[in-house]
Amino acid sequence: MSELKNDRFLRALMREPVDATPVWMMRQAGRYLPEYRASRAKAGSFMDLCMNPEMACEVTLQPLERYPLDAAILFSDILTIPDAMGLGLYFETGEGPRFKKTVTTAADVDALPIVNTLKDLPYVPDAVRTIRRELNGRVPLIGFSGSPWTLATYMVEGGSSKDFRKAKAMAYNEPELMKMLLDKLAISVTEYLNEQIKAGAQAVQIFDSWGGALAHDAYLEFSLAPMQKIVNGLIREHDGRKVPVIMFTKGGGQWLEPMAETGVDALGLDWTTPISGARSRVGHKVALQGNMDPSILYAKPDRIRAEVANILSDFGAGSGHVFNLGHGITPEVKPENAGAFIECVHELSRQYHLQD
């Protein structure tokens, strides 16, 4: 493997000194980029794009050609694991992801296999290897997975949901059944992320998109506990370097303390949590990633710049901050606004790292 030329992102995750705050964007390879839309049209379906390592590599690198981003993230979908378990993932236009089979009964949960990544999802480590080769040490590559609770909601509901009625009913009425499902997912996700690490992912992020929809105790029981199992089982050092782990629960600002207790290296924040408050609560344990409202990217570059300045000043001096949006960038954002955002993070953050 070639030497890493820009390690700001990994250093910030380890709370080591940096010259400027690193930045990347969730969903940075996505529909707001015309070149992405062209690749997507060429590939066929969204899953065709994910399952073709050369194409996945192509779109992963597209935002890096435009912007001085400090990390690449594997282009893939969070629902590869339930798909590999045999549920039959498909996408309906304008409807989001759907599954042909849903998980409703104990027999359904029993029938689910544990995922074997090399056998069931070989295209994922293949894509990781291809991207690492093409990145050639420019920036680190992030691997990722959905959290068990997040995956379970799609599997039980059969797709997206507004109120997670069926998944919550299973959790409340048949907690042992839900936990069997979450256990199978935690084991599968652990193995899946470890295969990404072995293939070359230099950091991993667990996306808990829907943990924030749970009540306080239910979050700890059904979302955080299975993520803890994953954290316990991850390869934390590979190829002579630590592999930092980022945990991101959207809407999770009220649970930062127990999240930081899991032993992850960094927590992702959405924009509802002030980063200064998060730093004073858990900054002695973990780095923080976030947390600009992606809707700010609809504003004029001056306003974007002012908001970046606010967040940098709110975090304050020293390392331990990876700048990001508080959720994925949306398709309607102008690419030049994303560029203005990324450039001013670097420019405005240097003053906070003079003592690093």
Characterize the bridge pairing of strands 241-242 and 245-249.
Answer: unpaired
For residue 122, the 8-state DSSP code is T
Which is nearer to its own copies, 18 or 292 (by Cβ)?
Answer: 292
The answer to the question of residue 307 lying near its own copies (CB under 8 A) is: yes
Check if 31 is active-site.
yes
Check if 27 is active-site.
yes
The answer to the question of residue 214 lying near its own copies (CB under 8 A) is: yes
Give the Cα separation of 208 and 281 in Å (integer): 20
The torsion defined by the Cα of 14, 17, 23 and 29, in degrees rounded to 10, comes to -50
Which is nearer to its own copies, 143 or 290 (by Cβ)?
Answer: 290
Please name which of 61, 91, 96 lies closest in space to residue 75, comparing C-alpha atoms.
61
Which residues from 252-281 bind its own copies, rule CB under 8 A?
253-254, 271-274
Please name which of 287, 327, 291, 81 lies closest in space to residue 203, comparing C-alpha atoms.
287
Which residue is listed with tokens 């102008």?
A: 334
Which is nearer to its own copies, 86 or 301 (by Cβ)?
Answer: 301
Check if 40 is active-site.
yes
Q: At its nearest, how many Å lie between its own copies and the CB of residue 22?
A: 21
The answer to the question of residue 303 lying near its own copies (CB under 8 A) is: yes
Which is nearer to its own copies, 48 or 257 (by Cβ)?
Answer: 257
For residue 240, the 8-state DSSP code is T
Check if 120 is active-site.
no
Q: Give the residue, chosen from 296, 325, 344, 345, that forms a contact with its own copies under the rule CB under 8 A.
A: 296
Give the Cα separation of 165 and 162 in Å (integer): 8
Question: Quick check: bond before 232 cis, omega within 30?
Answer: no
The answer to the question of residue 105 lying near its own copies (CB under 8 A) is: no
**Apex 189 CA angle, 184 and 192, nearest 5:** 125
Q: At its nearest, how many Å lie between its own copies and the CB of residue 80?
A: 24
Check if 352 is active-site.
no
- Binding residues vs its own copies (CB under 8 A): 163-165, 168-169, 172-173, 212, 214-219, 251, 253-254, 271-274, 292-296, 298-300, 303, 307, 310, 326, 330, 332
**Positions marked catalytic:** 27, 31, 40, 77, 154
